[in-house]
């Protein structure tokens, strides 16, 4: 039984890693194509995948203090810097209004949206988005669970809940609101209409 659990865990983590890398490569390739005109294709996908793999291997092979930690810190600084830049330079009022509006809609519809399966129209949105992301994140559960358990050793339940649930959720709401509202504003303003839509096609 233990061996079966180990195998299922390894397969799940492998699937989660593959999905993450695949989606990341697709996004990077789309960005390169949109900004620099490099045609999409297998060649670009392989080139980006090789670069991403090399970066990952370099980070993973180095000691934690010099590899993953430095990479994580750089990622966080870049993310926070870009978020702050977009918030201050971008449509600040629109972002704030969207945050309040989105939070209200979320609280009003969380139960209905969580249980919505679209049984009548069967448009495919639930399977392509909701269920797909459920499965994707569930596949990460074994790895993330072990990681959180290790870094939470010696912490109180209150500290665990705040650090592992509350803080990430609040940050994710702010992150999604800033980037999502900025992208949405691009599509609403006539001068930049179609920019975001064109980039994801």
- Structure confidence by residue, pLDDT tens digits, 139-198: 888 888 888 888 888 889 899 889 888 999 899 999 999 999 998 898 888 777 766 666
What pLDDT is stored for residue 17 in this prediction?
83
For the entire predicted model, the pTM comes to 0.78
CB 22 within 8 A of CB 53: no
What pLDDT is stored for residue 154 in this prediction?
87
What pLDDT is stored for residue 108 in this prediction?
93
Question: What's the CA gap between 7 and 1, in Å, rounded?
Answer: 10
What pLDDT is stored for residue 64 in this prediction?
67
Measured at the CA of 187, the angle between CA 181 and CA 188, to 5 degrees, comes to: 85
Instruction: Show the tokens assigned to 21.
Output: 């890398």
What pLDDT is stored for residue 56 in this prediction?
80
Helices (H), the chain: 2-36, 42-61, 68-89, 92-115, 125, 132-139, 141-151, 157-161, 167-188, 195-199
Q: Domain residues of the chain, as ranges? A: 1-61, 82-201
What pLDDT is stored for residue 85 in this prediction?
96
3-class secondary structure, 67: coil
Instruction: Decide: residue 139, CB within 10 A, 0-12 exposed, 13-18 middle, 19+ buried.
Output: buried
DSSP 163: I
What pLDDT is stored for residue 91 in this prediction?
92
Highest mean pLDDT out of 18-22, 189-193, 197-201: 18-22
What pLDDT, in 10s, does the model give residues 85-140? 999 998 999 999 999 999 999 899 989 888 888 888 777 877 778 888 888 888 88
């Amino acid at each position: 039984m233990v061996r079966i659990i180990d195998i299922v865990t390894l397969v799940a983590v492998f699937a989660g890693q593959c999905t993450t890398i695949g989606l990341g490569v697709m996004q990077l390739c789309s960005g390169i194509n949109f900004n620099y005109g490099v045609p999409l294709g297998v060649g670009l996908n392989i080139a980006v995948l090789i670069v991403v793999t090399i970066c990952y291997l370099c980070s993973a092979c180095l000691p934690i203090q010099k590899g993953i930690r430095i990479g994580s810190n750089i990622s966080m600084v870049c993310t926070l810097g870009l978020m702050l830049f977009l918030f201050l330079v971008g449509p600040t009022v629109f972002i704030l209004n969207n945050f309040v509006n989105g939070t209200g809609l979320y609280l009003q519809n969380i139960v209905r949206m969580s249980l919505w399966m679209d049984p009548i129209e069967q448009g495919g949105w639930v399977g392509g988005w909701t269920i797909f992301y459920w499965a994707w994140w569930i596949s990460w559960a074994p790895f993330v669970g072990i990681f959180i358990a290790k870094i939470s050793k010696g912490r109180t339940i209150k500290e665990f809940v705040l650090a592992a649930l509350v803080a990430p959720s609040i940050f994710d709401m702010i992150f999604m609101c800033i980037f999502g509202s900025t992208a949405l504003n691009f599509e609403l303003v006539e001068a930049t209409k179609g920019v975001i839509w064109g980039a994801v096609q």
